[in-house]
Structure 1
Amino acid sequence: MSELHIQTSRGLSGRITPQGNKNEALPIVAACLLNPGVTRLENLPEILDVRAMLQIVQGLGARVERSADGHSAVIQADTLDGSQPDPVLCAQIRASLLLAAPLLARRSQAGRGSVILPRPGGDRIGRRRIDTHLAVFETLGATVDTSPRDVRLSLDGPFRGTHLFLDEASVMATENAVMAAAMAEGDSVIENAACEPHVQQLCRLMEQFGARITGIGSNRLCITGTGGVPTPRELSHRVLEDLIEVGSFIALAAATGSELSIPGVTPANYWMVAKAFERLGVRFTLEGNTLHVPANQELEVQSDRFGEVPRIHDAPWPGFPADLSSIAVVLACCANGSVLIHEWMFESRLYWVDSLIGMGARITQCDPHRVLVNGGAPLFGTRLSSPDIRAGMALLIAALRAEGTTVIQNIRQIDRGYERIDERLAALGARIKRVAE
């Protein structure tokens, strides 16, 4: 086990390239099981969650070859010899749920149409139901049996195209629905679909598999399936940049008075981040595919009309991403003024703010979903533990701004979502080092 030792680090400068999108890479790796041929993946993030997913598909019989830097992989899934993914690895990542559709489609076509899926792991940020996923499979023709330990899925023949209305715009449930519908016999319509960029990217990969999809980027997807697993193909897919990491770097630069350039971004994906961060006085510019954050911004909360306390809240895409809620809390601590941060999706995501309060932040926990931040108070270094991926990164940003030394333990949580974060920030001038406990 290691911990991060961080000293006050203001005025960083330089160029930092974002990693590949974690939330895209995980479903894309799972989807590779649908291709009995060869799928080449580029721009994968070298993070613990992606490593775990690659190990899981390898354990199911796929052959996986990775580049030395971990940023590309070749997956050949001509033979799958398992019906149950490794339960230990599945307990580490929630994205193990995404194996359900491809694994069930493959096994059904081979005449062994049953799958045992262990209960998934992932961040403990509140109640994270899987009912929507299971309803998707039942509607598309599968039989579902549940127990406290696992989910058993059975399918006789291919998935059957139908009309689905998701009871929540769940990203992963949409991704399972897209993969299943793409392999289904007939046409499917998915209503109330999530439409995040990584969902759009998965749809484009399914088109390479032979499915016809309209409505990509909207909440209504119309999919004509292939009628079963396609014939082996040689395909390639490049993962987009991680917009949550880019948002984290914008906040880090603003909180520490730093000047950063972030190349390789997709400009259309940052409008809502810009609108939310502008409420805290943060500005950045886009020139082509490079995002620039200027140094020494004066952070001040922009009040609503008539002087009311403004609110920043997450929402399904294209709203403000839930994964940036924790980052927004730290940024609000750095801005003069008061703002309400409302995380309506997950009821336990904001409990970690006690750690910020211990650093000197003035935060009132209104209820499980809302915190009132009175920003501008100085922060001081202390000893902390990272509770989840995004809160861990938020604490790291706070530590860079704080006076004195901060020690962050349980940094495995940060490593699950941020690639070599200590080395990359040190290259910009941050005083940060990884130390064995």
Structure 2
Amino acid sequence: MASFIIEGGRRLTGEIVPQGAKNEALQVICATLLTSEPVRIKNIPDISDVNNQIRLLEDVGVKVTRNAPGDFTFQADEVNMEYVQSDEFLARCTKLRGSVMLIGPMIARFGRAMVAKPGGDKIGRRRLDTHFLGIQKLGAKFDYDIRRGVYDIHAGRLCGTYMLLDEASVTGTANIIMASVLAMGTTTIYNAACEPYIQQLCHLLNRMGANISGIASNLLTIVGVDSLHGAAHTVLPDMIEVGSFIGMAAMVGDGISIKNVSYDNLGIIPYTFSRLGVQVLRHGDDLFIPRHDHYEIDSFLDGSFMTLSDAPWPGLTPDLLSVLLVVATQAKGTVLIHQKMFESRLFFVDKLIDMGAQIILCDPHRAVVVGHDHQIRLRGGRMTSPDIRAGIALLIAAMSADGTSRISNIEQIDRGYENIESRLTALGACIKRVEE
């Protein structure tokens, strides 16, 4: 276990470049299982969740070549399906949520997949029904081994069909897309997730020889092909990290440039920060966040106070609500943060209340933040990171606070943010990693 020791009150300035997108990387890495030919992927972030996914593929027999930092070639020409059925493999899957996206490509290409309940953030119930129901509609059979707690999934060649997803699950959509590209006939997926990372997965698969149309909409049409071939792909910048840096710059920045953000793929994120009074200036594909000694939360046109809530793309990603909540603690005004998708993601606010923030946790999904308008500074303290996004939000809070803070369980932050303490130290932060 490791901790961050943070000296608060340091002003940050300079330039920072966002890493490759974690969620996209996990999807496209799994897609390499769909062909025996080499697939080269660039801008892969060096973070624990992605690195563990790569090691998992290596262990099942995928050849992985590291061409340069963040640049890998994958070749799945000798996959060991016996290992996929082993207790060792399944035990590792329980510690890595991204492992669930192995189901689609494995059942499509090899006719067999096994899955135990995957790990990941402890942010509430994250069901797999959408994955299972979609793949079942394509013709796969699911057998549950109650002794091992494992689903054994098997099929001949899958058959295309129409399906209406019960929810626009991002990983569920990715899994079903990967299962469908080699299915016989046409698959139509309605209520599909359409995040930029799903779009990127579809573009990669089309370069590999798939036939996917309707990309960027919630209605995908996939005409199955007999086989896929190699291709090259570059992962987008991580929109969640871009949003985290906007929030950090608003709280403790003296003028920060965020470089190469792929602005057109940020969606509503810059606008949402502007609703909190944060200036987000665009310069081409870069963002500049000036120093904010004061920022004021908008109200709705009828005068009621602002509500920020998550929604499927192109709505606001739930992964940024923790950061937005922290930014609101030093704004002028009041905002309701409504986390609709996960019932445990707001439970970190008690740590902010201990730091002096004025927050009312209404229920597991809603919190009212009354901003201090910089009249009352947060206080440093001891805290523990419960998940990736709460972890970065607590780090931002600690950087803005008076005094010294200690954040434990920073392995959670490492799962999503590459070498974060060194990158922020280069901007003027004082963050030290210590082993406990």
Distance in 1 between the 2:230 and 2:105 partners?
A: 17
Matching residue's letter, 2:285: N
Is residue 2:188 matched to residue 1:189? yes
Residue in 2 aligned with 1:22? 22
TM-score by length of 1: 0.95
Distance in 2 between the 1:9 and 1:245 partners?
A: 21
Work out which of the residue numbers 278, 282, 295 in structure 2 matches 1:299: 295
Distance in 1 between the 2:42 and 2:278 partners?
A: 32
Matching residue's letter, 1:399: A
Q: CA deviation at 1:9?
A: 3.6
Q: CA deviation at 1:10?
A: 3.5
Residue in 2 aligned with 1:139? 137
Check conservation: 1:282, 1:297, Cα contact below 8 A: no
Matching residue's letter, 2:367: V
Distance in 2 between the 1:167 and 1:258 partners?
A: 45
Check conservation: 1:182, 1:226, Cα contact below 8 A: yes
Q: What secondary structure is seen at the aligned counterpart in 1 of 2:257?
A: strand
Mapping 1:266-345, distance limit 5 Å: 266-345=262-341
Is residue 2:153 matched to residue 1:153? yes
Distance in 2 between the 1:52 and 1:2 partners?
A: 18
Q: What is the aligned-residue identity percentage?
A: 46
Q: CA deviation at 1:55?
A: 0.9
Residue in 2 aligned with 1:101? 104
Residue in 2 aligned with 1:410? 409
Q: What secondary structure is seen at the aligned counterpart in 2 of 1:334?
A: coil
Matching residue's letter, 1:151: Y
Matching residue's letter, 1:136: G
Check conservation: 1:2, 1:436, Cα contact below 8 A: yes
Distance in 1 between the 2:203 and 2:230 partners?
A: 15
Distance in 2 between the 1:435 and 1:144 partners?
A: 45
Render the CA deviation track for 1:276-299: whole Å, top value 9, x for unaligned.
111211111111111111123522
Q: CA deviation at 1:79?
A: 1.0
Change (3 A) 1:66 1:168: same
Q: CA deviation at 1:273?
A: 1.1
Distance in 1 between the 2:66 and 2:40 partners?
A: 10
Distance in 2 between the 1:297 and 1:213 partners?
A: 48
Change (3 A) 1:211 1:67: closer
- Which range moved further: 360-369 or 143-152? 143-152
Is residue 2:253 matched to residue 1:257? yes
Check conservation: 1:21, 1:239, Cα contact below 8 A: yes
Render the CA deviation track for 1:350-382: whole Å, top value 9, x for unaligned.
111111111111111111110001111421000
Distance in 1 between the 2:109 and 2:85 partners?
A: 13
Check conservation: 2:130, 2:167, Cα contact below 8 A: yes
Distance in 2 between the 1:253 and 1:224 partners?
A: 45
Matching residue's letter, 2:298: Q
Name the Cα RMSD after superposition: 1.3
Distance in 2 between the 1:87 and 1:7 partners?
A: 41
Matching residue's letter, 2:125: R
Check conservation: 1:11, 1:295, Cα contact below 8 A: no
Residue in 2 aligned with 1:121? 119
Residue in 1 aligned with 2:63? 63
Is residue 2:240 matched to residue 1:244? yes
Q: What secondary structure is seen at the aligned counterpart in 2 of 1:347?
A: coil
Q: CA deviation at 1:210?
A: 1.4
- Which range moved further: 114-123 or 132-141? 114-123
Runs of 4+ in 1 over 3 A off after TM superposition: none
Residue in 2 aligned with 1:111? none
Q: CA deviation at 1:221?
A: 0.5
Render the CA deviation track for 1:223-275: whole Å, top value 9, x for unaligned.
11113x43xx3321110100000000000000113311111111112341122
Matching residue's letter, 1:239: V
Check conservation: 1:281, 1:297, Cα contact below 8 A: no
Q: CA deviation at 1:209?
A: 2.1
Check conservation: 2:9, 2:403, Cα contact below 8 A: no
Q: What secondary structure is seen at the aligned counterpart in 2 of 1:13?
A: strand
Q: What secondary structure is seen at the aligned counterpart in 2 of 1:249?
A: helix
Distance in 2 between the 1:190 and 1:206 partners?
A: 16
Render the CA deviation track for 1:87-140: whole Å, top value 9, x for unaligned.
3332222111100011112222xxxxx221121000010111101110011100
Q: CA deviation at 1:301?
A: 1.3
Change (3 A) 1:204 1:297: farther
Work out which of the residue numbers 74, 88, 107 in structure 1 matches 2:91: 88
Distance in 2 between the 1:61 and 1:84 partners?
A: 13
- Which range moved further: 262-271 or 132-141? 262-271
Structure 1, unaligned stretches of length 5 or more? Answer: 109-113
Check conservation: 2:378, 2:401, Cα contact below 8 A: yes
